[in-house]
Structure formats: structure tokens, C-alpha cells
Amino acid sequence: MSAHENNTIRTYTDGFPLYELKEESTDSSFVVCPERGGIATSCRLHGQELFYLDRETFLNPQANIRGGNPVLFPIAGQLVNGEYEWNDTTYRMKNHGVARTAAWEVVETGTSGSASITLSLRSNAETLAAYPFEFELRFTYRLKDGILSIEQKYRNLSNEPLPMVAGFHPYFATESKNLTYGTDATRMLDYNDMQEKPFDGYLKLEGMVESAALLDARKPEISFPLSQGRRVRLTYSEQFRYVVLWSVEGKPFVCVEPWTALNEALNSKQGLLTVAPGETLELALNFSLED
């Protein structure tokens, strides 16, 4: 099988223009929708779909998508009253930032050696109203050997340091909300009562309204079971210091979300990443499926 036959790209429309990239040798694929926040709506590895997707929210351009893997930038989580102050000016920003609701552009695609697509988001009048910094995000989604990687570049086009949080909000399809996670984290922040608590690897998300954040992991990875006796493993850059766990009662998913800082970072100024003018921060996130 030639590289071109093994790696393919298909474009089609389902409410919005979509790109489906496949790796035939591993029975793996993923789907990206540039127009809806550069989101990956599907991640199928070794024949098994990892992501949950609520199609109704995906097809409604006014709705926040429940499902797939939304991109979080320049914040992850919420701001009190949806506001933060920077340089004596108050700005308003929706939950999880400006990237997940913006239309991204396709920069290039490739099938040589891997199936890949690179998307770009540049600051514009709408983003500047909420976040007064010029930037360009350039994400390459790459499928190789049954692993989906998101290679991220955060470039500061401003004349001053760019403060930011990077994060992802993947929804994993599973009927069980009570899982044991493979992680070396021993503490968590329970957002239901704002208390820090011990964490032994097991968390019962069933009945929890708000999320919990794992606080002190040293290894930049986490794994957890899905159906069919398989496990998802996420590995990521060391800057993703936290993993947030969340679900919704009655919906067949759990969210396992790598974040570089917690809620309120633009207000608290805690945990922010800083990109110098003209510089680029490079991060990575990888999805794999294990037997």
C-alpha cells in the first residue's frame, strides 16, 4: 500500500464544511470542522470512536458544541461575571475563550507519511474586543500509527507580552461516569464545594454538577478505560499542569481536559503562560487507544 493510498483526505458538508482524514492501515480517522472553532468532531482510533458529539449543538451556529474536542484559548473555564481586568481596562469574555467559537482557516493538508491538516486563527476585531492582543494560532492535526496529535503554535503578534491559557475540552463517549484514572496526581480541587481533597485515582462523576481539577500530577499523561476493554491515553506538553474532569447527568460522556491554568487565570494572574512579542509557544497533545 502506498503512502497516498494509506493516508486519505475527504471533504464534505454536514451543516458545515468538514475534513475527514484517514489512515487505512490502522483503521483510524478524524474529522475537523474549521468553521466551528477548528474543532475535531470525531476521533476514531483502531476502529473505535473516542468522542461523543451532540449533533444538535454542532449544527446550531449559536450553540456551544457539546462534544468533540473544543479548543480553549486564551482562557480555560470561566471568569466571574464573564469579566477580567487588564491594564486598568475591563474586558468581557465568554467561557473558555475566543478560539472555540471562531472560524479557522485551512492552511495546508498532507498525506505523505501521515494524514495531516493545519488550521490557522488570527486575531480580528471580534477577538480584540474580548482579548486585546494580536496573535496567530496554528494547529496541525496529524494522524500517524493510530495516534492523533495536535501540534500547536501560539504566536504573539503584539508589541507586548501575551498572557494566555491553553486547553482542550475533549468529550469521550462512555456510559460509565465513575472511572479510575491512570495518573500520579494525589490532590484535586472539587469545584462543587471549592475544597481541595485527596485523590486516589478514582472519581465518581455521577451526581457531580461542577468539575474537579487534578492539581499535582508530575507526569504529563493520563489514561482511563472506555468500552471494549480498551483505554484512552492522553500525553501532552508539561505546560498542561492540570486535568479537569467533568460530565453531565444523563449524557453518555466524560470530559478529560488538559489545561495550563485553572479558572480565573486572567483575573488571578496565576499560572498564565507568557509569550514574548514576536515569539511562538509550541505545545502538543496526543490521543492514543490501548488494549
Q: Looking at residue 228, what is its pLDDT?
A: 76
Closest CA to 40 of 150, 115, 128, 138: 150
Q: Looking at residue 5, what is its pLDDT?
A: 86
Q: Looking at residue 196, what is its pLDDT?
A: 98
Give me the numbers of helices (H) and strands (E) for the chain, helices first please. 4, 26
What sign has the CA pseudo-torsion 228, 210, 101, 272? negative
Q: Report d(CA 103, CA 113) in Å as an integer.
A: 28
- Whole-Å CA distances, 224 to 100, 104, 227, 287: 25, 31, 10, 12
Instruction: Determine phi and psi for 49, rounding to 5 degrees.
Output: -75, 130
| DSSP letters spanning 68-79 | SB-EEBS-SS--
Q: Looking at residue 175, what is its pLDDT?
A: 85
Q: Looking at residue 2, what is its pLDDT?
A: 46
Instruction: Determine phi and psi for 46, rounding to 5 degrees.
Output: 50, 40
| Domains recognised in the chain with CATH numbers | 3-290 (2.70.98.10)
283 in Cβ contact with 144 (< 8 Å): no
Question: Based on C-alpha coordinates, what's the Rg of the chain?
Answer: 18
Q: What angle do CA 150, 154, 169 make, to 5 degrees?
A: 45
239 in Cβ contact with 284 (< 8 Å): no
Q: Looking at residue 291, what is its pLDDT?
A: 87
Q: Looking at residue 3, what is its pLDDT?
A: 55
One digit per residue, pLDDT tens: the chain, 291 residues? 445 689 999 999 999 999 999 999 999 999 999 999 999 999 999 999 999 999 999 999 999 999 999 999 999 999 999 999 999 999 999 999 999 999 999 999 999 999 999 999 999 999 999 999 999 999 999 999 999 999 999 999 999 999 999 999 999 999 899 999 999 999 999 999 999 999 999 999 999 999 999 999 999 999 999 877 899 999 999 999 999 999 999 999 999 999 999 999 999 999 999 999 999 999 999 999 998
CA 82 to chain centre: 20
Q: Looking at residue 30, what is its pLDDT?
A: 98
Q: Report d(CA 246, CA 255) in Å as an integer.
A: 5
Helix (H) or strand (E) holding 17: strand 16-23
